[in-house]
Structure 1
Amino acid sequence: MSIEIVFPVGLWDELNRHLLRAPKDGSDHLVDEQMAFVIAGINRSDSRIRILAHEIHTAKPEHLFRQSPAAIAPRMEYVASMLARCRRDGWSLIEVHSHPFASGRGTTFSSIDWRNDRRTMPPTSGFLPDVAMYASMVIGQESLDAHVYERSTNSIVPVTNIYVLGRGANNRAITSIPTTSGFNGNYHAGSVEERHQRQELLFGGEGQRMLSRAAIAVVGLGGLGSFVALELAYLGIGRLVLIDPDCVEKSNLNRLMGAKSTDIGRKKVEVYRDLIGAIAPGTQIAAVDSSIASEEALNYAKDCDLLMGCVDNHGARLILNHLAIRYLLPLIDAGTGIRLSGVKRSFAMGGQVHVVIPGTGCLECRGFIDASKAAFELAPPDIRGYEREHGYGTQQVAPSVVFLNGVVASLQVAEIAYLLNLSELIPVIPLNIYDAIKRNVIAVSIKDYKACPTCGVDGVQGVGDLAPIHVPIASAGKPPPSIAR
C-alpha cells in the first residue's frame, strides 16, 4: 500500500519559503537548517493512505534547542505543544526540516536524521490518536524525502510521492514530486498504446502515461455523465469509478450516449461498465450503483485522484464540494440548462464547467450551491414528503438535449487533460460558461473567499477521515422541521 502526502499550493509555498530562505545579507554563506510542523488529516482507502496537509506551524528561534547549517533540534516543550494539539483534536503530524545545502536529485535523511527518527518516532507516535500517523520530511533545494512510522509493524516506511495542488512556481496545476526513497525507476517507463499515439503527439509519452495512471470518479451517468465516462475511456484514463443509483428509462434514451432500448431497466453503471469495457479493455472499472450520499460511494470516490461532477441537484453537488475540500481532491463540476419563458418561445440555453482545486476556492463560496435546495435534496424521505405536501420541492421536468450535453461534457473532459498534462501551457480557469445561443465560451476568473466556512481559513480543508461526510437516511418525530425559506 502506497503512502502519499498532499499539500494545497498555498501551504506548500509557505512551507518552502520558511525552510529554504536565502541569507538575509544576500551572500553565498551557508544558511541554517529550518524546521516546521504540519497538522494533517488522513484519507485511508483500500489502495493507499494519503496524509492531507491542513495547516503549517513554522518553528521560530525560541522553539529550537539547536540550529546550524548542518543540524537542527526542537525544544521538547515545542514538540509537546504540537502533539497535544493533535491528540486533542485527532490530527496527524508531519515534522519537516530542510537541508539547505542539498541540491539536485537525491536529497534524503542523513545518518543523524535516521538515528534520531529510529529513536524518537515510536514513542512520539504513541502520543498521537490511534488512527493518526507521524511522518518526517526533509526538503532540499530541488528534491526531498519523507517517511512515516507504521505502528502495526513497528517500522519506518517510505512515502512514495508528494502532491501539490494549485498553480505554483512551475505553473503546473497538479505537481507530483517523487520522494528519493520512494522513487521507482519504472514510474516513467513503458510504451504508449498504439491507440493513443495520436494523443501522444500532443501530450508526450509521459503525459499519456499520467492519464493511464489516473483514477477518476464520474458521479452521475445522465446526459452529461454518459458523455464524460465514454470520453475519459477514449482518452486513456486508467481507472474509472462510475457512481449512479438509477436505471435506464425510456425517456433517457434521447441523451444517454451509447444506451440502447434493450438497456431499459438496467442499472446505468452496468450499461456503462460494459460499454467502456468494449471501448477500452485495459481500463479498470468500478460500478457503484448507489447515491453519492451513501457510505459505499463516498469510500470509492475518496480513493480517486479527481472527481467529475455530472449531477443535476444541489444536494449531490454539495457532497462533491465537501469531498473535494475535505480530502484534497480536484473537482471538475459541470451542469447544463435550458430555460423557456413567455409565449414567444424566448429561451436561454447553455452550461458551465467549474474547476475546484482545494486551496483556491470552492462551489459554495462561488455561490453555485443553493443551501435550501441542498438541504431538501439531502433530507430523509419523510421530511421530503412532508415538504412536498406543503408546496416545497415540486418542480417541472426540465428540457434536455444531447447536443448541449455533448458540448459541455467535452469542455469538462478537456479540463482533465489541461490539469494532468497541459497546465503549464494552458492556465486553469475556475469557471467556463457556455452560451449555446451565442455559441461562445466565456472564461471567468473567481477569487476565493477566505471566510468561507468550507474552504476558508477556519473551514474543513484537509480534514479527511477526521470529519467524514455523513448524510442521515432516516428521521424521527412529527411533524419534521421545515427547511423551506
Structure 2
Amino acid sequence: MKTGIVLHEEQELQLRQLLFDTPGVEGAAFLLCGQVVTHNVQKLVANAVVAIAPEDFIERSADGLILKSAAIAKVSKLARYEGLSVVFAHSHPGGFAAFSTRDDREEEKLIPFFQSRIPGHLHGTLVLTETTIVGRIYSDRRYEADQVLVIGQRFRNHARNNTEADGRYDRQVRAFGPSIQRTLNALTVGIVGVGGTGSACAEQLKRLGVGHLILFDHDSLEDTNLNRVYGATIADVGKNKAEVAATRLNTIGLDGVCEAVPESIVTLAAAKRLRECDVVFGCTDKEIPRAILSRLALTYHIPVIDMGVVIDSIGGVIRGIYGRVTTLIAKEPCLFCRGRISAEGLRVEALSAEDRERHVRQGYAPELDSPSPAVIAFTSMTASHAVSELLHRLTGFMGDSREASEVLLLVDKNRIGTNRRSADEACFCSVSGDWGRGDQTPYLDMVWPTTST
C-alpha cells in the first residue's frame, strides 16, 4: 500500500505563509482534500487551504500549540458539507522534520473527531519545516505517508525513501546528484499508449530508474508497428502492446516494476488505475483519452505530460514535421483551451464504425480514412523531449526562468519553441473549486460506458 499527500505549489506557499507567519512559534492551518482509495494506493489530494483565525489559537509556542474546539468543529463541518477530507498542518520552527510525541498525543484526540464527523474518509496530518514536509494518513490505522508530492513549475517529492542510489545509475547521479535517483525510484508513472512515443518513453523512464511504470494500451502489435516500437520483435505481432513492453522491460534487470494494463483508458476500470500514478505520459493520438487525461490532471493533481507528432507529407514529399509536448496541471490551460482537442473531434471519434465510414465517404472526416505517417526518429525525438520535461520539473536543470507549459518542435526547420498561455475562463479547467476533488461519482465527472466496471 502506497500512501501520500499531494499539493499544488501555490497551496504549499499558502501553507507556509500561514504556518511561519510568526517567527519562533508553531503555526497551523487546515487542508480540505479529495481522496484516492484503491487496492494499491491511499492518497489525499489538496483542494483548498483553510486558515485559522488568530483568535482561535489558545496557545502558540516554539514546541506546540492549542486550538479552540470551535475552529476544529468549523472546518469539520465545512469538510462534511463539501464531501472532503481534512488534513491538519502545523510547523516545526527550527527544522525538526518529524512528528513529536506531543503531536502523537494531540492526533489521538483530533483524528477520531474528524473520523466521527466525516466518516468514510481518509484524514491526515502534515508537519512542515523551512525545507521539508512529512505527513501521515489515517484510515483503518495510522500510516506514515510514503511521500508528500508538491506539483507546479517544479515537482518536489518529499519521500521517506532514503536508500543509497544503485551504483548502476552512477553516470546520471553524477549529472543530477543522488537525491534525484531516490525521487525517481519513489515515483509511479503511467504511460497511456505504448506505440512510437509511448514505447520510447517507457524505455527511457525504466532506464532512468522510475520505481513503478504502469503501461496502458488495448491494441495488439501489428507488423507496421515494428519500425518504431522499442523492443518489439516479429514474434510479438498479435500480442498486446502493453504486455509486450512490460515483459521486456522487466527483464532488463534494473530495480523497479513495470506493469501492463491491456485496456483502453476509455473503459472505467482502466481509467481508475490512473489514480495510482504520480505522473502520466499521454502518448495516444486519440482525442477521447486526451480528454480523460485533461480531467485527471486537475481532479487528482496528477501532472500529465501529453505529446503528439504530425508528419505532413504528400506523395512522399515532406512539407512539415511537428512535435508537441504539453504539461497539464492546475493553473495551466488544458488541451481544449489550446485547441489540441475539440468537442467535434470527440464526437466524431465516438461514432460507431458504420457511422465513421459514412463520415469518411461524405468527406466530413477524411483523416479517419488512413493511418498517419510515423517515423521512429521523430517519435523518439518527441518522447525524449517529454522525458526531459519531467527531469526539468524534478531538477530545474533548464533554469528558473523556464516556465513554459508547452514545447513545440519544428523538426524540419530545426527549431524548438516554447509557450505558456492563459486558460480560457469559460473552460472547465478554470474552475479552481474542482481541482483536487479526488474520488467522486461519476468518476472524473464524466459519462462512462455502462458495460465497464
Q: TM-score, normalised by structure 2?
A: 0.87
2:125–2:136 contact (8 Å) kept in structure 1:
yes
1:274 match: 247
2:156 match: 175
How much is the aligned-residue C-alpha RMSD, in angstroms? 3.1
- Once residues 352 and 28 of structure 2 are traced to their aligned partners in structure 1, the CA distance between those partners, rounded to angstroms, is 48
Name whichever structure is richer in helix by fraction: 2
Is 1:401 the counterpart of 2:392? The answer is no
- Which of 363, 368, 371 is the equivalent residue of 2:343? 371
- Which of 453, 461, 469 is the equivalent residue of 2:428? 453
- Once residues 336 and 38 of structure 2 are traced to their aligned partners in structure 1, the CA distance between those partners, rounded to angstroms, is 26
- Once residues 5 and 13 of structure 1 are traced to their aligned partners in structure 2, the CA distance between those partners, rounded to angstroms, is 15
- Once residues 453 and 141 of structure 1 are traced to their aligned partners in structure 2, the CA distance between those partners, rounded to angstroms, is 35
Overall identity of the aligned pairs, in %? 26
Q: Deviations over 1:267-306 (max 9, x none)?
A: 1122212332343454412111110122332233221221
Q: Which moved more, 1:312-321 or 1:114-123?
A: 114-123
1:225 match: 198
2:180–2:395 contact (8 Å) kept in structure 1:
yes
Is 1:435 the counterpart of 2:410? The answer is yes
Against the structure 1 CA distance between its residues 320 and 144, is the aligned structure 2 distance closer, same or farther, given a 3 Å change threshold? closer
2:20 match: 20
- Once residues 362 and 413 of structure 2 are traced to their aligned partners in structure 1, the CA distance between those partners, rounded to angstroms, is 40
Quick one: which amino acid aligns to residue 367 of structure 1?
G
- Report the Cα offset of residue 128 of structure 1: 0.4
2:74 match: 81
- Report the Cα offset of residue 97 of structure 1: 3.2
1:118 match: 108
2:31–2:89 contact (8 Å) kept in structure 1:
yes
1:316 match: 289
1:327 match: 300
- Report the Cα offset of residue 137 of structure 1: 3.0
- Report the Cα offset of residue 253 of structure 1: 2.8
Where 1:418 maps in the other structure, the secondary structure is helix
2:333–2:422 contact (8 Å) kept in structure 1:
yes
1:483 match: none
- Once residues 398 and 411 of structure 2 are traced to their aligned partners in structure 1, the CA distance between those partners, rounded to angstroms, is 29
Is 1:133 the counterpart of 2:122? The answer is yes
1:4–1:51 contact (8 Å) kept in structure 2:
yes
2:36–2:438 contact (8 Å) kept in structure 1:
yes
1:415 match: 389
- Once residues 383 and 41 of structure 1 are traced to their aligned partners in structure 2, the CA distance between those partners, rounded to angstroms, is 39
2:7 match: 7
1:162-241 aligned at under 5 Å gives the runs 162-167=148-153, 173-178=154-159, 183=160, 187-194=161-168, 196-241=169-214
Where 2:214 maps in the other structure, the secondary structure is strand
1:302–1:327 contact (8 Å) kept in structure 2:
yes
Quick one: which amino acid aligns to residue 266 of structure 1?
K
Where 2:184 maps in the other structure, the secondary structure is helix
- Report the Cα offset of residue 359 of structure 1: 4.2
- Report the Cα offset of residue 388 of structure 1: 7.1
Which of the pair has more CA radius of gyration? Answer: 1
Against the structure 1 CA distance between its residues 438 and 466, is the aligned structure 2 distance closer, same or farther, given a 3 Å change threshold? same
- Report the Cα offset of residue 211 of structure 1: 2.5
- Once residues 12 and 405 of structure 2 are traced to their aligned partners in structure 1, the CA distance between those partners, rounded to angstroms, is 20
1:380–1:472 contact (8 Å) kept in structure 2:
no
- Which of 273, 276, 284 is the equivalent residue of 2:257? 284
1:473 match: 449
Quick one: which amino acid aligns to residue 440 of structure 2?
L
Where 1:188 maps in the other structure, the secondary structure is coil
- Report the Cα offset of residue 20 of structure 1: 0.9
1:108–1:144 contact (8 Å) kept in structure 2:
no
1:334–1:351 contact (8 Å) kept in structure 2:
yes
2:437 match: 463
1:361–1:448 contact (8 Å) kept in structure 2:
yes
Q: Which moved more, 1:36-45 or 1:443-452?
A: 443-452
- Report the Cα offset of residue 92 of structure 1: 0.5
- Report the Cα offset of residue 148 of structure 1: 3.8
- Once residues 65 and 37 of structure 2 are traced to their aligned partners in structure 1, the CA distance between those partners, rounded to angstroms, is 32
Where 2:276 maps in the other structure, the secondary structure is coil
Against the structure 1 CA distance between its residues 201 and 385, is the aligned structure 2 distance closer, same or farther, given a 3 Å change threshold? same
- Once residues 146 and 171 of structure 2 are traced to their aligned partners in structure 1, the CA distance between those partners, rounded to angstroms, is 31
Q: Which runs of no fewer than 5 residues in structure 1 stay unpaired?
A: 24-29, 168-172, 476-485
- Report the Cα offset of residue 144 of structure 1: 4.7
1:203–1:422 contact (8 Å) kept in structure 2:
no
- Once residues 219 and 110 of structure 1 are traced to their aligned partners in structure 2, the CA distance between those partners, rounded to angstroms, is 44
- Report the Cα offset of residue 335 of structure 1: 0.1
Quick one: which amino acid aligns to residue 5 of structure 2?
I
